[in-house]
Structure 1
Amino acid sequence: MEADITGANMGEKAEADVEMTENPFEPYIESVRQQLEDQDPVFLIGVIVALAVVIITCVFLKYFLTSKTVRTAVLLVGLCDSGKTLLFSRLLSGKFKRTQTSITDSSAPYKAKNEKGSTWTLIDLPGHDSLRPQYLEKFKSAARAIVFVVDSAIFQKEVRDVAEFLYVLLTDTVISRNAPALVVACNKQDITMAKSAKLIQQQLEKEMNTLRVTRSAALSSQDGSVGGSLYLGKKGKDFEFSQLPMKVEFLECSARGSKGDEGDADIEGLEKSLAKL
């Protein structure tokens, strides 16, 4: 009989030990629950609201601080032989440098000529059409500004290609959302036959208006709906650069300079634009 009682006691103790092992925090949870029940509901609501405010503030601070620190790149883009690499060298050192067609990106810190002494990462991207997409994808999220370099001397021959590249840039969802400043640098103004920045802008607006119609038609499905493409400009109106979500500026420059290899570049307008970023 005593053995049975002892066995029963040991069994109860074992069950109690198992319960404690399975839920060792139950006493603490019960204590916290009891304390919460004893608190004033208004006080609890205040605590919850305060915690929510702190969490939301942290999220917003992280978002804004990240966006400010990440987007510090100035991208030099354009077709092959537009003068991007020489412009890259002139902006960094002011010196003339013989260049060749780029097959990879080049980057260096660029100190803007302003009172703040702002420093951006200047990145020269390859201009070949087979390389452009991968490098644009790599750097577009970090772009604070995009300098689109145009060869003003042969622009008439390249207007279609220039417009198509610009169209791809401006209809990119990341670029449209971030809205980096766009500077169209009409380079090689030292050449007699160079087109003016105003004329280049007008012709590009016409060409991109045509592109917008043809691209929209190509993307239209059989039921007449259009999907997957960001609409450029304002519907029902001819395209103008002023309709874009980012600041756009056309300016004239000459990376080579009017005095050739030994002379200074004519890039003051571009430097002033970069100083405003």
Structure 2
Amino acid sequence: MGEKTHKDSPENPFEPFIESLRQQVEDQDPVILIGVIVALAVVVITCVFLKYFLTSKTVQSAILLVGLCDSGKTLLFIRLLSGKFKRTQTSITDSSAPYRAKNERSSSWTLIDLPGHDSLRFQYLEKFKSSARAIVFVVDSAIFQKEVRDVAEFLYMLLTDTVISRNTPTLLVACNKQDITMAKSAKLIQHQLEKELNTLRVTRSAALSAQDGSVGGSVYLGKKGKDFEFSQLPMRVEFLECSARSSSKGEEGEADIESLEKSLAKL
């Protein structure tokens, strides 16, 4: 009875092949076999690493509004989203909302307003910098001359950051409050910032060298041996003039942010 069952059971069609392969493996030099196993392991590890790297890479889909306190970031944030005026106060946390660009593609980004207080700004920048497609650096044009040093220091830290330098988000320097008579022009602000950043680069590099004998930990700003200019940066930089308030109809009038909206439409 058992013999009949053995005869009726189908023969494994792959058995001769498996037996042949086993015989070949046994006849091979062990050194060659180890080499083959190692090569296969390297291929598998490489595939796993590439999959992890590609899937974990952060998508750059945010537009960050940054700047000093009282530069008008939050009102600019509200104007871009709704076009309306709203009284604001100093931000102590971030605010975010979907923003649809005014272009044919109706591109959609996440607009994020970051606190401008010096005790908070870098903490929140660290949180969102890797997702930045663009950074809108808001400057108070009316009191720029008084704040030029502080503005330059914030901008220096931002531009020498390794993540920002690697991701190269578009930098839009929004010279806000152009509705005020004493406001400085975008051209003058750019020129003044280039001079101040050039000075900061020299002093910061010297300080780092004195500490540990080398300049490290951040990206060198601009090109060595040349005075700093924004055109030397790896990202696209644009200076523009805007006003989150209306100069003609007071608070109820329309904001002058068309130049900023056009720049955001190019992203």
Q: Which bracket does the TM-score occupy, shorter chain normalised?
A: 0.7 to 0.9
After superposition, residues 207-218 of structure 1 pair within 5 angstroms as 207-218=196-207
- Uncovered stretches (5+) of structure 2, i.e. residues with no partner: 1-16, 28-35
Q: Residue 251 in 1 paired to residue 234 in 2?
A: no
**Structure 2 matches for 1:48-127, cutoff 5 A?**
67=57, 70-127=59-116
- 1:65 to 1:161, Cα distance in 2 relative to 1, 3 A: same
Does residue 155 of the first structure (1) align with residue 144 of the second (2)? yes
- Does 2:265 correspond to 1:275? yes
- CA change 1:31–1:158 in 2 (3 A) is farther
The separation in 2 between residues aligned to 1:166 and 1:229, in whole angstroms, is 13
Q: In 2, Cα distance between the equivalents of 1:158 and 1:130?
A: 17
1:137 Cα deviation from its structure 2 partner: 0.8
RMSD over equivalenced CA pairs, Å: 2.8
Aligned residue for 1:264?
254
Aligned length: 240
Query: Percent identity among equivalent residues?
Result: 82
Mark the structure with the bigger radius of gyration.
Answer: 1
CA positional deviation for 1:63: 5.1
Q: CA deviation at 1:133?
A: 1.4
Q: Measure the CA separation in 2 of the matches of 1:32 and 1:190.
A: 83
The answer to whether 1:146 aligns with 2:140 is no
The answer to whether residue 163 in structure 2 is matched with residue 174 in structure 1 is yes
Q: CA deviation at 1:66?
A: 5.8
Q: For 1:176 and 1:219, how far apart are their aligned partners in 2?
A: 19
State the distance in 2 between where 1:120 and 1:153 align. Answer: 29
**Residues 129, 60 of structure 1: alpha-carbon distance in 2 compared, 3 angstrom cutoff:** same
1:8 is aligned to none
Residue number in structure 2 paired with 1:203 = 192
What amino acid is the match of 2:149?
R
Taking structure 1 as the reference length, the TM-score comes to 0.78
Shift of residue 70 of structure 1? Answer: 1.7
C-alpha separation between the residues in 1 aligned to 2:204 and 2:82? Answer: 41
| C-alpha distance in structure 2 between counterparts of 1:171 and 1:32, whole Å | 59
Structure 1: gaps (5+ residues): 1-27, 39-44
Q: 1:252 to 1:36 in 2, by over 3 A?
A: farther
Q: 3-state DSSP class of the match of 2:65?
A: strand
Q: 2:13: which partner in 1? A: none
Query: Of residues 117, 137, 145 in structure 1, which corresponds to 2:126?
Result: 137
Change (3 A) 1:247 1:63: farther
State the secondary structure of the residue aligned to 1:272: helix
Question: Given the superposition, is the C-alpha separation of residues 36 and 129 from structure 1 closer, same or farther in structure 2, using an over 3 Å criterion?
Answer: same
Moved over 4 A (4+): 28-38, 54-67
Q: Measured at CA, do residues 56 and 223 of structure 1 come closer, stay the same or move farther in structure 2, by a change above 3 Å?
A: closer
